[in-house]
Every structure is written in structure tokens, then in C-alpha cells.
Amino acid sequence: MPNSRPWLAGGAAVGGLAGALAAAIAGLCCAGPVTFMLLGAGGAVAAAGLRPYRLPLLLLSAAILGVAYWRTYRGTGGTATACPPRMGKWIKRSFQIAIVAWVAAAVMWVAACAPSAPPGSHLVIGANDEPLKSTFNANVGKVRVIMLVAPT
């Protein structure tokens, strides 16, 4: 299905990538390379335009950010003792950026999914094509376009 607001979808993807990048930096030292791998993959897949997977990826990245939060603020007693002090400060700053980027990506994703017109009614095709066939023949004399597309 064509996206009527591609800039929003693109923005969500860019936001996801930014979140992934920032979280990756935050996670490199304390949360580990797994954070980088999963969030990087999530951002890349979102950027590739696989719309059905954007919501699961957003939820997955939220869960990973939760782990990153635990590792950064709670798991080490409030300090990132696994890292040098300067790096620990940088990690916390990166984590905050990751949170902001994730929220931006989520908001833009919701906005991109929001419908822009009132819903239209639809007929159900059963064992035969009769509803479509009768409409098709009722419009002989006009150019007709038929699209077979997924509603998601």
C-alpha cells in the first residue's frame, strides 16, 4: 500500500537509526555488543521500509534500552564502574540521547500510521467474484484499475 506521508515513515526510520546508533555507543562498554547488533539490525530493517516489522522492532529496542538503563544506572550501583569515569559520563549522555531518539521514532511511526481520511466501506469476496464482477461490468465504457494489495 502506498504511504501517503513518506517523509514521516522516513523520519521514523532515521529516528530509529539515530536511536540505534546512540544506544549502540551507550551499550558498547556496559551493555555489550549485543545491544549494538540488535539495535543496529532494528534500525537497518526499519530503514529498509519493512513496515510490518517496525512495531516489533520499536518494542524490541525499548526492551534493550531498558536493559541498557539497568546496566548503566542500577546494575553498577549508579556508576558505570566497568568503564573509565569519563566514558561512564559519555555513556549516560548517549543513553539519554537514545531515549530521546527512540521517543521521536515512536511518535513519527504513530504519525505515519495515522489515517488521513475517513474509512471507506468494503465488500467481502466469498467463494465467487460476483461483487467485483458486477461492479466491473457496470463500469464498461470507463477505464478501470484493479490493485491487489495488503491492508497492512
Partner 1 sequence: MWVPKLYGHESDVATATRFVPDPRARHYWDGGAVLVRQYDAVLGLGQDAWDVYMIYGPNVRWDAAAPPRPDFWMHQLHSSVGVFLDPNTFAAHADSLIPRTSP
Residues that bind partner 1 in the complex, under the rule CB under 8 A: 1-4, 51-52, 115-129, 131-133, 135-137, 140-152
CB of 91 to partner 1, least distance (A): 37
Phi, psi at 76, each rounded to 5°? -115, 20
CB of 109 to partner 1, least distance (A): 15
Q: Helix, strand, or coil here: 77? A: coil
Pick the closer one to partner 1 by CB: 86 or 138. 138
CA distances in angstroms from 112 to 13, 101, 106, 108, 142, listed in the order given? 11, 16, 10, 6, 33
Q: Which residue has the cell 530521546?
A: 100
CB of 56 to partner 1, least distance (A): 11
CB of 12 to partner 1, least distance (A): 17
Q: Which of 106, 88, 77, 102 is nearest to 26 (CA)?
A: 88
Pick the closer one to partner 1 by CB: 78 or 126. 126
